[in-house]
Structure 1
Amino acid sequence: MMNNHVESASGDDAARLESLGYKSEFRRDMSLWANFALGFTYLSPVVGIYTVFGMALALGGPPMIWALLIAGAGQLLVALVFGEVVSQYPLAGGVYPWARRLYGRKWAWLTGWVYLMALFSTIAGVAYGAAPYIGSFLGFEPGVLSTVVCALGVLVLATMINFMGTKVLAQAAIIGFLAEIIGALVVGIYLIAFHKHQDLSVLFSTFGAEKDGSYLAAFCAASLIGVFQYYGFEACGDVAEEVPDPGRRIPKSMRRTIYIGGAAATFVCLALTLSVVDFAAVINGTHTDPVSSILTSAFGPVGAWAVIGVVLISFLSCVMSLQAAASRLVYAYARDRMIFCSSLLSKFSHEKFVPPYALLLSAVVPAAVVIGSMISTGALMKIIAFSSVGIYIAFQMVVFASVRARLKGWVPSGEYRLGKWGMLVNLGALAYGVVAILVIGWPRTPDVAWYDNWIVLLSAGLVIGAGLLYMVIAKPHLRSDAPYADAVNQVASQPCAARSIA
């Protein structure tokens, strides 16, 4: 009976995909649990917090933790918008096909382009951030060259896992999720129970992080920990063609990623903050790696080594999930002939049920970013900042397209709908995203050359400019006959009741 139900659902999903203009090629091997795990490991509480904690604490002191709550609330609104869109358009590639159906071909091209470049940068940033933990695990102090080598090693391993197919990806995502739980909750509980040096009052004390200026400026700089943490839920939709009953399951996975991932990230940040002995040393720059010190002090050399091993699994699973999302976007672009080398990048392996050349591109470009990071001071923070601003820009392009479609009469017809709250949620998500983009892009290092200080906004402008130039010259948006801008004119095809946004 169970097999008959699964086969029936698979047949319905294939028919629905065909009604949207595409033939089903992926295998729907990803369960609700695995889809949530993919989004969770992409969002990755351990990777997000362990990578940025030291920098955020140095910039804003303990109150930087409140940025996690602010960003979590804002990104939940975005996740609700995305859930409604993916429920109607459960297509591989996420933001690109959503923008295509809501707005049009040009808007979709630019949305996907910005998101793809930011994804490549995020993959590089996470791989780069793993290097210090690889050094601690193997017993060496990573320099610039060894950091690059370690990051490239992480990329190679993640790519090998992705090439094994959807089923292996789903299993690896669940293993990564379990590692995240151990790295976040178990370690956090132990730190609070046995290694707490501070009380909760420190969360309201800046410890001089504002120096001679306003604390608002310091908090905005430190808030990178929040904005970097809360994306990844969209990966649940990037693999929509690999999930049975995606219109119901993916919105649920997205919301769970925000709820559970955000709670875990805030908890591990709290545990680390309360375990810091000397905030002044971190803020004035004499103590640059508080996480490693906390773990070694709390667990001893052997225990810290084991914890770092678990943390490295989290880093690997995060890179793996990011690559999966990026490769599906590249494939979605290529099958619509919207990108260079489309005939190659749209090739699909019916043995492993993955797009192999799209996966390879999702390793090669991040590797180039990692190698290129050797020429910039403070490379990790800048990679992370650009990654975040690019992702947020792409997100807001989809949210804006959703607002525009609503104003033109779009009535969502998927299994998950926001009902009467739809426009309010959309506008709230748009307002939050615009503010977040300004916060992320604002220059933070006035003591360096102007181009290095403005590198985040310059990089974003360069990526958008390159995308526009390519669109004007190559006109990729005119190559495909795939459907576009049909949301407003599409008649609701399923008489399903509107669901709660909770």
Structure 2
Amino acid sequence: MQENQTKTMGGSTVEHVDSDASQLAALGYESEFRRDMSPWANFSLGFTYLSPVVGVYTLFAYALAQGGPPMIWGLIICGLGQLLVALVFSEVVAQFPVAGGVYPWARRLWGRKYAWMTGWVYLIALFVTIASVVYGAGPFLAQVLGFDVSVNSTIHCAIGILVLSTIINFLGTKVLAAAALIGFTAEIIGALAVGFWLLLTQRHHGLSVLFDSFDAAGSHSYFYAFAAASLIGTFLYFGFEACGDVAEEVPNPGGLIPKAMRRTIYIGGAAAVFVTLALVLSVADIPAVIASKDVTPVDTILTNAFGTVGAKVVLGIVLISFLSCAISLQAAASRLAYSYGRDDMIIGSQLLKKFSSARHIPPYALLLAAIIPAIIVLGSKVSEDALTKIISFASLGIYIGFQMVVLAALRARLKGWNPSGKYHLGKWGLPVNIGALIYGIVAMINMCWPRTPDAPWYDNYIVLVSGVVVVGIGLLYMMIHHSYGHSNMPYNDAIPKKHQHNDLSFKS
């Protein structure tokens, strides 16, 4: 009888929850969150953030036009690269299961200044990504509702999706978890159903087409074309870190979150490859896509396969995926902003660290994760070109945040850090860490590589320029307002004390 009374939250016990609280207390925190998120809900949060349907449907036309059918191999290569990053993150979150993800991880691995910059870049990238997701969903919602797709209708629909996402997040962890599970279920069923139907009824090619570039490279080498096409994988494979952003809302986070991160890559990657395969084999005229005669091959395929009404049903599933993605992104951004505020690391911390005891959410951090993306979306009314330039930073910023943690983990490891959480790689830790860093650097170079030689230099290098601007503003802020020094919460404690006297100034 006593055993039954102690059961709570997906089979965890009160004793286990007390253990989670004790671990967090040892790290210097007392959580106000409730551990209401089950292991599958935590995985679903990462999956819907990664959102293979959103990623593939958004980038399929570009990738196919750039590299032809072999672009599908870019998805697999990037998936393996990001798996290495996820393994490094798994070790870190197992030892430091603190809400906010990359910021608290960088804080414990390196120091306050380094953590501040890591969190700054990643937070800006999340805000921009939220804006890009809801703006990208705007035309789909307009089509489903029967509106003419225009800047105004796109803005109205995007703001509507953002408002709905914010409301769902405001309802608390249980509703967030339920929304993530619903989003995952809808997306995986939709991906499988659409994929199998296309393979059964719309297949125009055999598997050998996956090795035929259809001369997509033109006068360039195919490596150049494949690098551009593989951006579909580079832009797709993040989201697994969201599982760790809500570490204080998951029971037994050190054991469960690493599993959720890996599942996000395995299942999300498999779904993305399957959908891409079905779409590639269903494109009747691949040369027309490469020659830009068919710029919306996904719409063409769906209309041919399902008819006008059926295509709208599929678009409805796609919209659920967009909404779920926005919800997960907003949850991640709000937890990072709250973590920043809790450590008094940024202006406005007094508001950002406020917590609703009724809803068990940080309300002002959530509002920030709605207001800034809304301002970015509304900016397209003034200039769609400006919006494009802002959004170009999204993926690069996330990769910078990732690689700053990977670099900090490698540095800490070389200084004697021996991961002591429930998940660790053992002797494989160092080679995996080095591989993750190499992959991330190569991916960022590929993102920044200039591919529009006829455009002005600032457009040709827009991804790099946007990154420099965000980092530059962050450094300027650090020099003017020393927020990083306002808190004495633990930092740089992953490295054994005997190694810390040689640390660089960035540790402080």
TM-score bracket, shorter-length normalisation: over 0.9
* CA apart distance, 1:249: 0.2
2:411 to 404, 409, 414: 404
Report the equivalent of 1:4.
Answer: 6
> What residue is the counterpart of 1:428 in the other structure?
435
Aligned to 1:494: none
Instruction: State the Cα distance separating 1:385 from its structure 2 match.
Output: 4.2
Residue 304 of structure 2 aligns with an amino acid whose one-letter code is: S
Alignment of 1:366-385 (within 5 A): 366-373=373-380, 375-377=383-385, 385=392
Q: 1:279 aligns with which of 269, 273, 286?
A: 286
User: 1:123 Cα deviation (Å)?
Assistant: 0.9
Q: Select which of 204, 210, 215 maps to 1:208.
A: 215
Contact between 1:182 and 1:310, CA under 8 Å: does it hold in 2? no
Residues in 2 aligned to 1:60 and 1:266: alpha-carbon distance in whole angstroms: 16
Match of 1:465 among 465, 468, 472: 472
**1:311-362 deviation line (CA, Å, top 9, x unaligned):** 1111100000000000000000001000110001111001111101101111
2:405 matches 1:395: no
Percent of aligned pairs with the same amino acid? 64
2:31 pairs with 1:31: no
C-alpha separation between the residues in 1 aligned to 2:63 and 2:131? 20
2:226 is aligned to 219
d(CA) in 1 for partners of 2:56, 2:190: 11
Could you state the TM-score of these two structures normalised by the residue count of structure 1? 0.95
Aligned counterpart, 1:166: 173
Counterparts of 1:295-310 in structure 2, within 5 Å, are: 295-310=302-317
C-alpha displacement of 1:208: 2.7
User: 1:230 matched to which residue of 2?
Assistant: 237
Provide, for residues 216-274 of structure 1, a one-character-per-residue CA deviation record: whole Å limited to 9, x for no partner. 22221222100111000000000000000000000000000000000001100111111
Does residue 178 of structure 1 match 2:180?
no
Q: Determine the structure 2 residue equivalent to 1:73.
A: 80
Counterparts of 1:71-470 in structure 2, within 5 Å, are 71-373=78-380, 375-377=383-385, 385-470=392-477
Rounded Cα–Cα distance in structure 1 between residues aligned with 2:370 and 2:218 = 41
SS of the equivalent of 1:142 reads: coil
Deviation at 1:407, TM superposition (A): 0.7
Residue 179 of structure 1 deviates from its aligned partner by 1.1
2:68 is matched with which residue?
A: 61
- Using the TM superposition, give the Cα deviation of residue 183 of structure 1 relative to its aligned residue in structure 2, in angstroms: 2.1
Instruction: Report deviation, 1:450.
Output: 2.1
Shift of 1:490: 7.3
Q: Is the 8 A contact 2:48 2:321 kept in 1?
A: yes
Q: Taking structure 2 as the reference length, what is the TM-score of the superposition?
A: 0.94
- The code of the aligned residue for 1:114 comes to V
Q: Which runs of 4+ in 1 moved over 6 A?
A: none
Contact 1:228/1:384 (<8 A) preserved: no
User: Could you tell me whether the CA contact under 8 Å between 2:147 and 2:153 is conserved in 1?
Assistant: no
Does the CA-based 8 Å contact 1:224-1:385 persist in structure 2? no
Moved more, 181-190 or 415-424: 181-190
Q: Name structure 2 gaps, 5 residues minimum.
A: 8-12, 499-508
Letter in 1 for 2:195: G
- What displacement does 1:369 show? 2.0
- 2:486 maps to which of 472, 479, 484: 479
In 2, the alpha carbon distance for the partners of 1:24 and 1:85 equals: 19
Moved more, 318-327 or 211-220: 211-220
2:153 and 2:93 map into 1 onto residues whose CA distance is 41
11 and 87 in structure 1: CA distance in 2 versus 1, 3 angstrom threshold: same
Q: What are the superposed Cα offsets for residues 49-70 of structure 1, whole Å, 9 maximum, x if unpaired? A: 1111112112222111111001
Count matched residues: 490
Secondary structure of the structure 1 residue equivalent to 2:314: helix
SS at match of 2:468: helix
Cα pair distance change 1:79/1:212, threshold 3 Å: same
Letter matched to residue 147 of structure 1: T
How far apart, CA to CA, are the structure 2 residues paired with 1:211 and 1:377?
Answer: 28
Distance 1:425 1:13 in 2: 28
